[in-house]
Amino acid sequence: MRAIHGFIATVGALLFGINAFAEDSAVSCRAGDRACAAQELRKNPAKSVAFWRDALSKPMDQRIAAGPKELVDLIALDNTVNGFPNKPRASTLSDDFMADVRGAFAALPDIVKRKAAPKLAGVYFVDDIGGTGFSDQIYGPDGKAAAGFIVLDSQVLKVQKANAWATWKENTPFKPDGSFTLEAQIEDAASDDRKQAIQYILLHEMGHVLSIGTDIHPPWNLRPRDVPLTRDYPYFELSWRVSLGEDRYVTRFDADFPQRRNIAYYFGAKLAASDMLATYESLVRTNFPSLYAATHPGDDFAEAFASYVHTVLMGKPFEIRISRDGGVVKRYGSCWEEARCAEKRRILEALLK
């Protein structure tokens, strides 16, 4: 997740190392000038619904393309604001890669595509964004968040297969120790390919976009302490609270889930591999659909959406297997048939009616 502007899964820098410091040559800010970048970011045309009007009127499958220049600029500015070294550039997309992306989107349930149509300005490809996926809000003339876009890094995605990607991601919170290992399965062997990795990543980002302008959880560009106390956020309230003093989100499970605050995906694992078992044993006593869901209200919903569509609507597998010295000691599956996730499931069912 990006601090306040957008949501991001930071995979890219890890795979590609640190590049030259961003110069933001497309805009007038000096390299590393965060204040200037923040100001330019607010003025970026890709933040407004007007910029995306054409895209929003096209059929969904025509909203999948290389990122326009304005979007590349937006991500460069966002990287400067966040201190990321990555230097975004428009992707050159091969036909076989685009066929996988279009295929991944086309295979989604109709209800998901219908819900996305008015809200998703498109799926765009930019290289070296500093992650795999990025979603952000688009504002209407009244200043309210009305829609969103998804940016994916084709350089990162073109090398991923579904189960290897999921296994890699779910291992990142843990420091390897050679004894405890974790395997994730989101596809059967026959369909364990790049298209399915793209589909799962796309579903997660679509969850973020579908939450825009709703009461599912507070907008991700608000600091926790600025969340209006008078508003109801039914999904959020099932798990989350604001700690005003700390200006952070806490969960109602934190007393019995001591590992939660040390869940750090992608960079800088804070948990030991020997914590895997206890962490997942704590997780099943919560209503979070995945471990990543327990990191932030926005990712709670994006993970729930992806997991619900993937396992319930599409009937696909989801399993985390923890092994000790080669022997499986814990299996963690989709929670949608379990009582612990029933209330979240009702909200998802209502949304996808």
Residue ranges that bind Zn ion, judged by CB under 5 A:
7, 299, 302
Of 97 and 200, the one with the shorter C-beta distance to Zn ion is 200
Q: Least CB distance from residue 202 to Zn ion, whole Å?
A: 12
Tell me the pairing of strands 120-127 and 89-90.
Answer: antiparallel
HEC secondary structure over 272-292: EHHHHHHHHHHHCCCCCCCCH
Q: At CB < 8 A and 24+ separation, what contacts does 220-228 make?
A: 220/1, 220/4, 220/6, 220/7, 220/137, 220/296, 220/298, 221/4, 221/5, 221/137, 223/4, 223/247, 224/248, 224/249
Minimum distance of Zn ion from residue 299's CB (angstroms): 5
Nearer to Zn ion, 97 or 265 (CB): 265
The H or E element that residue 80 is part of is helix 69-82
- Closest among 295, 122, 146 to 212, alpha carbons compared: 146
Smallest separation (angstroms) from Zn ion to the CB of 307: 13
Which C-beta is closer to Zn ion: that of 71 or that of 302?
Answer: 302
Nearer to Zn ion, 265 or 336 (CB): 265
The CB-nearest residue to Zn ion is 7
Nearest to Zn ion of 186, 273 (CB atom)? 186
Which ranges of 191-308 would DSSP assign to H, the alpha helix? 194-211, 234-237, 276-283, 297-307
Closest CB 1 distance from Zn ion, rounded Å? 6
Nearest approach, Cβ of residue 327 and Zn ion (Å): 33
